[in-house]
Amino acid sequence: MTRRRGMALAAGLVAAALAMASASAHDVVATAPADDAAASLIDEGGALFLTHCARCHGEGAEGGIGPRLVGNARLARPDRVATQILRGSIYMPSFATRLDDHEIAAIATFVLNLGSNDFGIVSEADVAALR
Ligand code: HEC
């Protein structure tokens, strides 16, 4: 093998290793934005989701009585998701008096980043402004 070919092979192995590393990073359910504050909101939101939302939307948000939330393009507007949680709708209850601004921000941010969703962040201040 020539020196050139050896280098190309080494570069290929590095690329394959990088591809494997990024594939395993995608195994997590919610893909956390780089920001640490957002990552901790998402963690907290995941636990709150199981308590308050999973019975209708499913433990993996795959849908049930309520619509599927993972891979749902209608959720591309963070203010709309926060408003839905605050007000509820026909069959969905309102969480305005049951959850505080921080908890609603956490659940909304969790939902916005669930699976392939990549729709941003809702802050506590955003929720306060929408009330
Ligand atoms: C009692 C069942 C129930 C519970 C509990 C519930 N939902 Fe819903 N949700 C629904 C239904 C049903 C809809 C569809 C709109 C309607 O008919 O009210 C919906 C709609 C939504 C939507 C809009 C989806 C879209 O495609 O437009 C979002 C976002 C949502 N729910 C999030 C949540 C979150 C987050 C929680 C927990 C805080 C939650 N829901 C709790 C039943 C529920």
Longest dimension (CA), the chain: 71
- Give Cα 28 to chain centroid, integer Å: 10
What the block records as the tokens of 55 is 């019975």
Each residue's pLDDT expressed in tens, for the chain with a length of 131 residues: 556 655 555 555 555 444 444 444 444 455 545 578 888 999 999 999 999 999 999 999 999 999 999 999 999 999 999 999 999 999 999 999 999 999 999 999 999 999 999 999 999 999 999 99
CATH of 31-130, one of 3.40.50.1860, 1.10.760.10, 3.30.420.10, 1.20.1050.10: 1.10.760.10
Q: What does each C-alpha distance from 88 to 24, 84, 92 come to in angstroms?
A: 36, 5, 5
Pocket of ligand 1 (CB under 6 A): 52-53, 55-57, 65-67, 69, 72, 74-75, 81, 84-85, 89-93, 95, 107, 111
pLDDT digits 0-9 by tens, 17-54: 444 444 444 444 555 455 788 889 999 999 999 999 99
Residue whose CA is closest, atom 22 of ligand 1?
Answer: 84
Domains of the chain, by residue range, sit at: 1-29, 31-130
Average pLDDT, the chain: 84
Rg (CA), the chain: 19
pLDDT of residue 7: 54
At residue 30, φ and ψ (nearest 5 deg) are: -100, 125
What CA–CA distance (Å, rounded) separates 80 from 22? 31
**Substitution candidate for ligand 1 out of 49, 50, 55, 56 with most atoms within 8 A of CB:** 56
